[in-house]
Structure 1
Amino acid sequence: MSSNKNVALVQEDKDAPISSQKPFRSSIPVPNVQEMVRSDPLLVPKRYIRNEEDMPKEAHICHHLSSEIPVIDFSLLSKGHQEELNKLDLACKEWGFFQMVNHGVAPEVMQGMKDAADKFFELPLEEKNKIAMPSDHTQGYGHVHVLSEEQILDWSDRLILVLYPHRNRKPEVWPPTPFKEAIEIYTSEVRKVAQELLGSLSSIMGMDKDVLLGLHQELVQVLSVGYYPSCSMPDKVLGLSPHSDMDTITILMQDDNLTGLQVKRDGNWAPVKPIPNAFIVNIGDVIEVWSNGRYKSIEHRVVTNESKARLSHASFFFPHEDAEIEPFHQMVLKSPRSLQIYKKVRYGDYLKESMKMRFYGKERIEYAKIGS
């Protein structure tokens, strides 16, 4: 059995490094899941098998909710169309998740990214390990947030890269062309979408469009490409543990023909069925704090299947570490009894304290609550 012997550093969402790349906690090396499946498709080591209470139960998977997940038309949103802004407000309040169509990123750019990622993950392990995560930062190919030998592991491998600011890139762990070129083109287009979307979020919170972007000090962008191999026991493992994202917003491109992402709503799980060429957007903990809980960072997870591997491409957008986040006054006034739920926190401190908590559910946002 091959394994990636490099040590990664821990960060959010098993996905997202922070802007400065300072270590918070070390992640111990674990086997490469894709390689395990290649070697023995029936093998599922004990470290990946979940307790029964942690696993998807058909009674709690509401397939009918899939059709209720909001769909936002980005072309109308960017023009300030009031009805679409109202739909965005409702989506953030009731779901924290929505699918976004007509976003302007060309289908050939999206497909180019998917094709390049497919080719990269089909390379021999020795080739992929040439850009494995070194011991001093979280970028590269491998795994993060593995803290103990007893920890139940996720059924996935991933490639993590910082895109912006450029000074925090680690060229030595970037994949070779043409994957590198595809990443540059795709993530540049997604960044434009994120900036415009932040303007719309500013608007629905009663502010000028440029306020949220300015408060970031510097819009940090991280890419995580996740590879979820097929599994002979999909009812016993998870591709990604339930969690909320610690960023501002996440823009996800997933396979058009394979459902793996699920979002939690009212104690049940709703599969997110892909809309071809659409993005999936979820708000993160930062928006929850700024909105004083009016908009909630939703808990989500990834399940596996028995027959086919799945890829996802997540773009995370963060404030600068030194940015201070706290509820906006007008959002507090909209809260029950006008009570402020969250305190002012430096974002870097929020990340650091959150890393002391489990990567599970929404426990980490408790640090930002008043009285914590």
Structure 2
Amino acid sequence: MPIPSADSPAAAGLAFIDLSCGDLHYMASVLRKACLDSGFFYVVNHGVEDIEHVFAESKRFFVLSTEEKMKVVRNKKNRGYTPFQDEMLDPLKQTKGDCKEGFYIGPEMKEEESDIWGPKPFHGPNQWPSKDLLPGWRETMEKYHEQVLLAGRKIIRLLALALNLDMTYFEQPGVMDSPMAYVRLLHYSGEASNPEKGVYGAGAHSDYGMITLLATDGVAGLQICMDKDASPQEWEDVQPVKGAFIVNLGDMLERWSNGLFRSTLHRVVLTGEERYSIAFFLDPNFDCLVECLPACCSYSNPPRFPPITSGHYLIERYKLSYKN
């Protein structure tokens, strides 16, 4: 797709990363600036097909009765349905849970495969709605997961170059060769947000992992805060761009880069219009040790964060966000 010009209202000051560009080092330089400035950018020509069909299938699930959706409620492996207001991302400011429901889909694996080395959180079989109710639904979601993972791998190669690392640094064994990679279908209600009363589509938060790729249905609502310590905080709209992913960096990449690359605070403020989106979270291997990259620290700039295992970091963050 053609890239909007810098003065396009759609651009909203965010960079466009073209995954079809043959000049990887140029794209990496553009990406580096985006990661330093905001941690948010658009990705175009990503190769993911039929996103509109995936949205249509997502809607088919969310219009089911609550009784049917609860048959596949989120399990201990973090797969399946999350009900309305089950998640509260900003408990200090929210008076009730996020005005959204969701559905998690991860890499498909059998229970015995996930437990070869003992029970491991986030690793296990997916839950699927009945084939009788939603024929072809599973196949659509598995194909989307496969395609968006390929796009995500292209982005982490550019991120490695942007950090002056070998392009395959994050794909080496033990790092992201077996990543925790999850699609999350999201449906926001038509209830308008009211920040003064603590009501949000999604409360203010930074993402927990490496990167997030977000597909939108064209309905606005995503906002970012460039200075989380400002009082009052200032929020900027991130406009959806047809055919583009909105990509943001997560906390683990901020830790890896010693705070060089930004994991930016964001939220969803609903206008009263129903909204659908599809998030893809691409995170390191469960056992990956996330510690400051040598290129991001020095004697005068020592590591700011202690080393931490990717999976256990995610577990602690999820515990703070969910009721159960």
Q: TM-score, normalised by structure 2?
A: 0.80
How far apart, in 2, do the equivalents of 1:355 and 1:152 lie? 17
Amino acid in the other structure paired with 1:139: R
Please identify which structure carries the higher helix content. Answer: 1
Q: What's 1:263 paired with?
A: 224
Q: CA shift at 1:305, angstroms?
A: 1.9
Q: What's 1:303 paired with?
A: 269
Q: CA shift at 1:155, angstroms?
A: 0.8
SS at match of 2:107: strand
**How far does the alpha carbon of each residue in 1:123-168 deviate from its partner, in whole angstroms, 9 at most, with x for none?**
222332232234x4432112444699x9621111111122256653
How far apart, in 2, do the equivalents of 1:102 and 1:222 lie? 21
Q: What's 2:18 paired with?
A: 73
SS at match of 2:209: coil
How far apart, in 2, do the equivalents of 1:259 and 1:201 lie? 27
Pick one of 100, 103, 107 that aligns with 1:156: 100
Q: Does 2:118 correspond to 1:118? A: no
Note closer, same or farther for the CA distance 1:98–1:233 as it changes in structure 2 (3 Å cut): closer
SS at match of 2:243: coil
Equivalent residues in 2 for 1:1-372 (5 A)? 67-76=12-21, 79-106=22-49, 109-134=50-75, 136-143=76-83, 144-145=86-87, 152-163=96-107, 167=114, 168-174=123-129, 176=131, 177-214=135-172, 215-231=175-191, 234=194, 236=197, 237-256=199-218, 258-266=219-227, 267-306=233-272, 308-333=273-298, 337-355=300-318
SS at match of 1:160: strand
Q: TM-score, normalised by structure 1?
A: 0.70
Instruction: Give unmatched runs, 5+ long, in structure 2.
Output: 1-8, 115-122, 228-232
Amino acid in the other structure paired with 1:339: P
**How far does the alpha carbon of each residue in 1:20-78 deviate from its partner, in whole angstroms, 9 at most, with x for none?**
xxxxxxxxxxxxxxxxxxxxxxxxxxxxxxxxxxxxxxxxxxxx8962122211211xx
Q: CA shift at 1:95, angstroms?
A: 0.7
**How far does the alpha carbon of each residue in 1:300-348 deviate from its partner, in whole angstroms, 9 at most, with x for none?**
1111122x21011001111122110111111114x9x332212222223
Identity of aligned residues (%): 27
SS at match of 1:159: strand
Note closer, same or farther for the CA distance 1:355–1:316 as it changes in structure 2 (3 Å cut): closer
Instruction: Give unmatched runs, 5+ long, in structure 1.
Output: 1-63, 360-372
Amino acid in the other structure paired with 2:12: S
How far apart, in 2, do the equivalents of 1:355 and 1:185 lie? 27
How far apart, in 2, do the equivalents of 1:353 and 1:131 lie? 23
Counterpart contact for 2:109–2:125, Cα < 8 Å:
no
Q: What's 1:23 paired with?
A: none
How far apart, in 2, do the equivalents of 1:163 and 1:172 lie? 11
How many residue pairs get aligned? The number is 286
CA RMSD, 1 decimal: 2.6
Note closer, same or farther for the CA distance 1:243–1:346 as it changes in structure 2 (3 Å cut): same
Q: What's 1:40 paired with?
A: none
Q: CA shift at 1:217, angstroms?
A: 4.7
Q: CA shift at 1:349, angstroms?
A: 3.2
